[in-house]
Chain A
Amino acid sequence: MSAIFKDHDADRRVNTKWWASRIAIYAALLIWTVICLFPIFWTITTSFKLAPDVMKGNLVPWWDFTPRWKGWESIGLSPRLFGEVSTVREEFLKRFWNSTIISISSSFLAVVLGSLAAYGLSRFNYRFGFMKNSDISFFFLSQMILPPVVLALPFLVLYKSLALLDSRIGLILLYTLMVLPIVIWIMRDQFQGIPIELEEAALVDGLGIWGAFMQIVLPIALPGMVAAFILSLVLCWNEYFFAALLTATNATTLPVMVASQTGSQGINWWSMAALSSAAILPLVVVAIFLEKYIIKGMAAGAVK
């Protein structure tokens, strides 16, 4: 009976319990959403505030303060200044461009080197001296443990003598080194999931090892490579430590620019907020549109 009529006392109790759990779940989700979004909301709105708005603690745009472009004018990015020549904008764009070039090239380089190595390690048996496959894998992955501070100084001296200090290439090489273990970790997992019969069939059909890799395996592993690429991109874009030590004027990246502004006395909140927003927005956009790949990249290796 109770299967048809759901108005028995016992069923109702379950119902309230179900509702209680629903409400608890959504309440928890909403609380954490606020925790995640409020700092971002705060930064973006502050970039449109004037000094009185900051001091009065106004929060909601249009309701208790009128958005102004003042903050964005201080980095030369406001509708009024777009037509004009602006040195601050050039400065900002130069940093932005540095960050873009450095993070994209080093991620690309890391994905190329890392995929090749991961493929080799998942398919063939190597012997370099005493090192076997598992040792080579461990050698690559153990680089993850290496703290950047250990390498910082030798690189400072090395780059000085190679005239690579304060150059993009220097940073690209270092960042590639930094993300390479992560790329290998992700790609090894990807290649292990590809059935070996595919390549065997390709070999029978007359392709070489490299031909099979390029024409058969690569297209299948492409989503994994995109995931590795985006994850590396995020790490490189946000890197601060090496950039702070190894660059001075030409090759400084956005994080260094943000950090150098916070250091100065009497910072303008609105210009700092505009600068921070501009520094985080590209990755926020990436996160919104390419979330699938980021999650895929991080999940690889965790689940097997």
Chain B
Amino acid sequence: MNTEGDLLHTVTADNISDNRRRVGKVMVWGTALLCAALALWQMAYEMDRVARGFETWRPVLYAYMLWATALCAAQVIVNGEKGKRTLFVLPAALFVISLVVFPLLFALYISFTDWNLASPNGPQPNGTDNLVEMWNDGFYWNALKNMVYYVLAVSVEYVIAFGLALLLNAQIRARKFFRVVFLLPLMLSPVAVSWMIGKSMLEVRFGPISRMIRELGGEPSFFGTPETARFMIMAMDAWTFIPFMMIMLLAGLQALPREVIEASKVDGATGWQSFKEVIFPLMLPVSVTAIVIRIIFKLKLADVIINVTSGGPGGATDSVTSFIFREYRDRSNVGYGTLLAMVYLVLIVIFVTLLLKLVSRWMERPA
């Protein structure tokens, strides 16, 4: 990104009168005051200091939206042409800030309370009790350990996806047909997949795969032992998401310079040699990008686990997200669950930052 000035230069002679500036400032501050006043009043009402108030916080939301609109409009009124430029980014920025930063701050507060939705007292700060509880919670550490396994499974997915991308990039007929078919699993919702595969095809009595294993003389049991159960979850998740990496790698393969590969052929390289010495190194940036994005998606893995095993047997398939989901759902243990989520967020941020630092020299540009 250039640092000298705008890529798209505009020369404008803005004559903004003092009056116009004042109008803009009044708009922003006026609506902000309105919003703050409404919020204070509502808060006082909820604490029973004021007799009359609104039923919900909706009016505060409307006032907030009014303020956001006024802020955007004021950019143009006060800053003229420069404000019009700001207007491109400002709506998205306001949207993300109000929907992420405020809830995160709120989450930070609840994560240090003993809030249980079932208890009538509401949130009561309880210092570091939750942290101590987390430290002693074997299931949480177990879920974190499972996440390590799940992330490691990405490497196998990568190998398969690369193979498929190479196949699709070869001289084949009906390429479009195969591409659409290989893409299909990505379109399916993990919840539907967990029924289609996890609950029906892998069903022990009537599922077609169990039947096949029985024909071959085995005894089907997919979710009985921790290892197989974890493997099955990995396989289902891989089935859905391999197309994702495959498409990225295929795009990379198609963008490779043809001359280099042809030159390697002219120099007498066999197929394997030209793959190892030419294609793979050239594909490194794309590969790393695909793997990093896939890992980021993998860290959110939950839907399949919630619906197929709900963490069982004995927490062997639990991901952090599915574990916290049950903490909310079954035990309404809101304060503790939120602390676990916040700790997970911190761990993820550290992990992803390290990962990006580690691989950034293989990537053409940081993600």
Q: Which of A144, A209, A254, A304 contacts B296 (CB 8 A)?
A: A144
Find chain A residues with CB under 8 A from B194 CB.
259, 262
Instruction: Tell me if A245 and B196 are in contact (CB < 8 A).
Output: no
A238 → chain B closest CB, angstroms: 4
Interface segment, one of B24-32, B150-158, B199-207, B257-265: B199-207
Cα distance, A180 to B98, chains bound together (Å): 14
Find chain A residues with CB under 8 A from B104 CB.
150-151, 154
Find chain A residues with CB under 8 A from B56 CB.
161-163
Find chain B residues with CB under 8 A from A46 CB.
200
Find chain A residues with CB under 8 A from B345 CB.
146-147, 150
Residue of B nearest to A126 (CB): B89
Q: Which of B183, B255, B289 contacts A287 (CB 8 A)?
A: B183
Instruction: Tell me if B344 and A121 are in contact (CB < 8 A).
Output: no
Find chain A residues with CB under 8 A from B13 CB.
none
Residue of B nearest to A197 (CB): B8
Find chain B residues with CB under 8 A from A59 CB.
208
Cα distance, A298 to B352, chains bound together (Å): 21
Q: Which of B100, B187, B211, B325 contacts A149 (CB 8 A)?
A: B325
B15 → chain A closest CB, angstroms: 16
Instruction: Tell me if A39 and B302 are in contact (CB < 8 A).
Output: no
Instruction: Tell me if A241 and B184 are in contact (CB < 8 A).
Output: no
A304 → chain B closest CB, angstroms: 6
B239 → chain A closest CB, angstroms: 7
Instruction: Tell me if A269 and B189 are in contact (CB < 8 A).
Output: no
Find chain A residues with CB under 8 A from B251 CB.
295, 298-299, 302-303
Q: Which of B81, B89, B352 contacts A120 (CB 8 A)?
A: B89
* Interface presence of B182 (CB below 8 A): yes
Instruction: Tell me if A124 and B180 are in contact (CB < 8 A).
Output: no
Cα distance, A36 to B178, chains bound together (Å): 10
Q: What are the interface flags for B60-103 relative to A under an 8 Å C-beta threshold, 1 for contact and 0 otherwise? A: 01000000000000000000010011111101110110011001
Q: What are the interface flags for A230-260 relative to B under an 8 Å C-beta threshold, 1 for contact and 0 otherwise? A: 0000100110110011000000001110110
Known: A126-B86, A149-B341. A272 touches B195 (CB 8 A): yes
Instruction: Tell me if A280 and B192 are in contact (CB < 8 A).
Output: yes
Q: What are the interface flags for B328-340 relative to A under an 8 Å C-beta threshold, 1 for contact and 0 otherwise? A: 1100001001100
* Interface presence of B367 (CB below 8 A): yes
Instruction: Tell me if A123 and B196 are in contact (CB < 8 A).
Output: no
Instruction: Tell me if A113 and B95 are in contact (CB < 8 A).
Output: yes
The interface residues of chain A, by DSSP majority, are classed as helix
* Interface presence of A25 (CB below 8 A): yes
* Interface presence of B290 (CB below 8 A): yes
Known: A151-B103, A177-B95, A177-B100. A36 touches B190 (CB 8 A): no
Find chain A residues with CB under 8 A from B200 CB.
42-43, 46, 269, 272-273
Q: What are the interface flags for A124-166 relative to B under an 8 Å C-beta threshold, 1 for contact and 0 otherwise? A: 1110100011101011110111111111111101100111000
Cα distance, A146 to B366, chains bound together (Å): 17
Find chain B residues with CB under 8 A from A269 CB.
200, 206
Cα distance, A177 to B366, chains bound together (Å): 22
Interface segment, one of A3-11, A26-34, A65-73: A26-34
Find chain A residues with CB under 8 A from B307 CB.
240, 259, 262
Cα distance, A87 to B129, chains bound together (Å): 49
User: Measuring CB to CB, which residues of chain B are less than 8 angstroms from any residue of chain A?
Assistant: 1-3, 5-10, 55-58, 61, 81, 84-89, 91-93, 95-96, 99-100, 103-104, 106-107, 110, 163-164, 167, 170, 172, 176, 178-197, 199-201, 205-206, 208, 211, 239, 244, 247-248, 250-252, 255, 286, 289-290, 293, 296, 299-300, 302-303, 306-307, 320-321, 324-325, 328-329, 334, 337-338, 341-342, 344-345, 348-349, 352, 364-367
Given A42-B196, A258-B192, output 14 extra A-B contacts at Cβ < 8 Å: A25-B167, A25-B172, A114-B92, A148-B302, A152-B328, A154-B103, A158-B103, A176-B95, A177-B95, A180-B96, A240-B307, A259-B306, A284-B184, A295-B250
User: Measuring CB to CB, which residues of chain A are less than 8 angstroms from any residue of chain B?
Assistant: 25-26, 28-29, 32-33, 35-37, 39-40, 42-43, 46, 54-55, 57, 59, 113-114, 116-117, 119-126, 128, 132-134, 136, 138-141, 143-155, 157-158, 161-163, 173-174, 176-177, 180, 184, 196, 199-200, 203, 208-210, 213, 234, 237-238, 240-241, 244-245, 254-256, 258-259, 262, 267, 269, 272-273, 276, 279-280, 283-284, 286-288, 291, 294-295, 298-299, 301-304
5 intermolecular pairs with C-beta atoms under 8 Å apart: A36-B181, A255-B303, A259-B194, A267-B199, A303-B251
